Chains A and B, each alone.
Chain A
Amino acid sequence: AQSVTQLDSQVPVFEEAPVELRCNYSSSVSVYLFWYVQYPNQGLQLLLKYLSGSTLVKGINGFEAEFNKSQTSFHLRKPSVHISDTAEYFCAFGSARQLTFGSGTQLTVLP
């Protein structure tokens, strides 16, 4: 069975500082990994995806993630955050018929 673990439930960070949101997965099949962002009272918006190829994936809003097969990780990074990045972030594993989500990380950017 596949599962996704987000190691930090809350991450506070000051504006313009770098941030890393951690995600680990377990799976015995082909790996498709995603990061989604959810703003209050809204649905999920795709930030980036890893399907195959280069292990460094660049997404929207300056975010990037690195797929590490040996460590079964897919951590999300941004070199300099903005107040507007405050939101809930979800890592997800994709199989043929569904997404399996982690429990989410609340990123709060402080002025």
Chain B
Amino acid sequence: GAGVSQSPRYKVAKRGQDVALRCDPISGHVSLFWYQQALGQGPEFLTYFQNEAQLDKSGLPSDRFFAERPEGSVSTLKIQRTQQEDSAVYLCASSLGQGNQPQHFGDGTRLSIL
């Protein structure tokens, strides 16, 4: 389809393991965003890319979280040494540009840390 695609849809990991979450944005979208959505809460901003440049990572909760978009298209969010509080839905969004351009969201990856 033409929408934002995220994989896997569900991920279960043991505490201490590393995980990698993938996002395929809409073709031609310059901007890419990652959000974290805890149960019963609104999404919270993690990081923002414009093409391959990570322009804002102020929302990453710790240095265990790392995101990349090496070729300005697909992005990967990596979480090292996972902890139980990392359990959440991770949403990826893309847009044509910044500011007033609406963001288009994927269906998210539900991460459960045991």
Contacts and interface: CB of A to CB of B under 8 A. Distances in A.
Interface of A: 32, 34, 36, 41-46, 49, 51, 90, 92, 94-104
Interface size on B, as a range, is 20 to 34
Contacts, number: 60
B18 interface: no
9 contacts: A44-B91, A44-B105, A46-B102, A51-B100, A92-B42, A99-B35, A101-B42, A103-B41, A104-B41
Contacts of B44: 101
Interface in B7-61: 33, 35, 40-45, 48, 55-56, 59
Contacts of A45: 105
A103 B42 contact: yes
A88 to B, nearest CB: 9
Given A49-B102, A96-B99, A98-B33, A90 B48 contact: no
Indicate the member of A45, A98, A103 with the most B CB atoms within 10 Å.
A98
Contact of A98 (B59, B100, B104): B59
Contact of A43 (B41, B48, B107): B107
A43 B55 CA distance: 24
B39 to A, nearest CB: 11
